[in-house]
Amino acid sequence: MASVPTSTDEQLLDGRATRWDEHTAERRERILAAAVDLVDEVGHGVSVRDIAHAAGVPRSVVYRIFRDRDDLEAQLRAEIFTRLVAVALPKLDPGSTAHSALTDAVTTYVEWVAAHPLLHHFLGTGAITRAAEGSRSATGSRSAVAQHVNQLLREAAARAGVDAALTDPVAYGVVGLIDGAVNRWVHSNPADRAPVDVLAELLTESVWAVLQSQATGLGIRLTRRTRVSALL
């Protein structure tokens, strides 16, 4: 007659499952970290074998954690984007001015692209076996940033008691402006490029002009001295 599992047996199984999940998560993080470093160095052509070697795991382990090359690349893009957002879109300091917050975000993004052009390019490319994925990946990244900006604009509109219907197109518009300009800049001839600080200032002032104009149209007073705490 088969024995009935006891609560101790179940606890042991749960403990083993938890340890295995933690082990798998640790390996996944190690593989993604190695992949980010390799793509940053050599670009999209990095092989799974190279990633496994850099992570210190057998190639077979990579395919146990990720379904296939496409899944690995999709999760790698998500990791790169998460790191970028953490750097370029930090938590707003209520004591800073809206203009300085915008300056910091735009400058940080431009500097990141200049320092990591291959990671930036990888974000906009798709899996080798699914060419259309690149456009979806890039669009998803832009949408995530635009949604973040839109949320800030909606909060400012709500605090001012004005209609927030136009915040969505404004958010997507300014993100598209920055994205288009930076894409053109990073793929242009280095000899013809504007310096990083010049590009960052141009984009900051261009976006500020749009935001200030729209704020004025809605009856929101927005100056270079306006603090974040007065808007959100």
pLDDT 10s digits, 63-88: 999 999 999 999 999 999 999 988 88
Question: Domain 1-66: which topology?
Answer: Arc Repressor Mutant, subunit A (1.10.10)
pTM of the entire predicted model? 0.83
* Domain ranges for the chain: 1-66, 69-231
pLDDT of the residue at 4:
56
- C-alpha to C-alpha distance for 35 and 86, rounded to whole angstroms: 19
CA distance 85 to 78: 10
Residue 8 confidence (pLDDT): 63
Q: Longest Cα pair distance anywhere in the chain, in angstroms?
A: 81
In degrees rounded to 5, what are phi and psi of residue 227? -85, 150
Name residue 227's beta-bridge partners.
97
Chain center to CA of 205? 23
For the chain, give the mean pLDDT: 87
Average pLDDT score over residue span 219-223: 90
Q: Confirm whether 1-66 and 69-231 share one CATH topology.
A: no
For the segment 102-117, what is each residue's pLDDT rounded down to a tens digit? 999 999 999 999 999 9
| Alpha-carbon span 107 to 99, nearest angstrom | 12
**Angstrom distances, CA of residue 92 to CA of 66, 136, 161, 200, 210:** 35, 29, 21, 19, 20
Q: How many residues does the chain have?
A: 232
**Per CATH, is 69-231 categorized as 1.10.357.10?**
yes
pLDDT value for 135: 47
**Neighbour-count burial of 7, counting CB atoms closer than 10 A to its CB (0-12 exposed, 13-18 middle, 19+ buried):** exposed
Percentages helix, strand, coil for the chain, rounded to the nearest 5? 75, 0, 25
